[in-house]
Structure 1
Amino acid sequence: GKTDEIAITFYPGSTLNKKMKNSDGREVESVLLKAGFSDDQIKKAFAAKYDSLVFAGRPENAGLEGYIYGETFYISPDETAEQVLQRSIDHLEKIVKKYNLDGKFKARGLTLYQGITLASIIQRESIGCGSGVETCEDQRKIASVFYNRLKANMPLGSDVTYQYIADKTGVERSPNLKSPYNTRIQKGLTPGPIASPSLSALNAAADPINSDYLYFLSGDDDITYFAKTNEEHEANVKAHCQKKCQIS
């Protein structure tokens, strides 16, 4: 690219706004601040109206969480924060079209918005999937757990959902947190995405494996273990998750 271009990298799995707690500096807001945009410019960009097919099914009051695609973009110094975000949204639209995500989610009874929401939870739950890959088996298995739970009318039971809302609002992380984002308690999907999903997470939500799995955990060895019954899951906790599973 031209020498005066600036590289801006958004990250899969990151949130839109800087978290009140446990910030990792990878949030879209943090990236834009580092790139030299002011608080006001960023606020304005987050509140702006963007035109894209990817917003199909998105509720009126929903923001951009989940829509800023994790990728590196080369921008010219005179580009506005809105233009940068529009590029990222356009990139997501290309992906939605290329992989027919809208059609695949519809076939599973989800709107595109719900599909992106599910993909964002899968993204936050999966640690072993490299960025930039088209598909990841772990994520497709995690997707199958969530679809099986939705079908069985069980809560998703995903810790990353209450962690998201706790970190965002600055309260203690607790599995008993009263929030529509706490899928330990609330049935169904969260009201909206909790992060920017990667390509492989979107594809996992659109095309899960067929399984009878209802449980999974990320072990102390960072391997994901799946189970069909609570007994199997408890055995996995004992065998593989003595450190990680004790913390909220």
Structure 2
Amino acid sequence: MSKVIINADDFGYSRGVNFGIIDAHQKGVLSSTTIMANMPGFGHAVCLAKDNPDLGIGVHLTLTCGCPLLNTVPSIITETGEFHHLSFYENKFEIDMQELYMEWEAQIEKVFAQGIQPTHLDSHHHVNSITGITEVFVKLARRYQLPVRNNFSVPEDLKTTNRFYATFDRLACEKPIWQHMNRNNLLQECETYELVEVMCHPGYIDDELLNRSSFSNNRPYIIKELMNEKYPELFKEYHIQLNTYADI
């Protein structure tokens, strides 16, 4: 039997995003999410998490959105106290990797402090795959003995999935993705690899999302797709089991 983890990024981004993730979990096939400890919706997300114990919750380590938890990390923030934009890391950059380690450690510890046992680690905007930053990410994964997203060259001693499927959002906004599954797209991935993570970004639009994110208008369509009744039918027909990172 193949296994699939359908994971929503950005839990904690805002109340609208949080409610969208929970609807996709309660009424659809979303099985996992990753939480942002530094964002305004974090406390709200924690409350929702405790009411939904079957939802796997990892840590969405953040370096390019909002403000850090620590006030002792000058190399990773701008003059206004916010994290550098992603574009800062797309060219040659210099930051203090120890400061990054301490900030990400603080984010992980904040999740633990709320009584949540994280299932895994990934990162906002995939910054964990950037040279230099990867080493910090791996060091923390080893320290906390947590599985990681398979979006970089994962060391053999860390647990991960066999495949990372990153195109769900685009397909969901074009047409019902179960049609793509029937044409051997995602379905073929699940049949080929023992354990697949499907990344997605569901959410309802609110002012926080509109003010901060360039990816907002399509999120409600992703919720709708995750609640498509065809998924349970296909998963049953093709012997695909929904999982979380806690299961690997």
Q: Which has more strand, going by share of residues? A: 2
TM-score band w.r.t. shorter chain = under 0.3
Task: With a CA cutoff of 8 Å and minimum separation of 6, indicate the structure with the bigger relative contact order.
Answer: 2
Q: TM-score, normalised by structure 2?
A: 0.26
Q: TM-score, normalised by structure 1?
A: 0.26
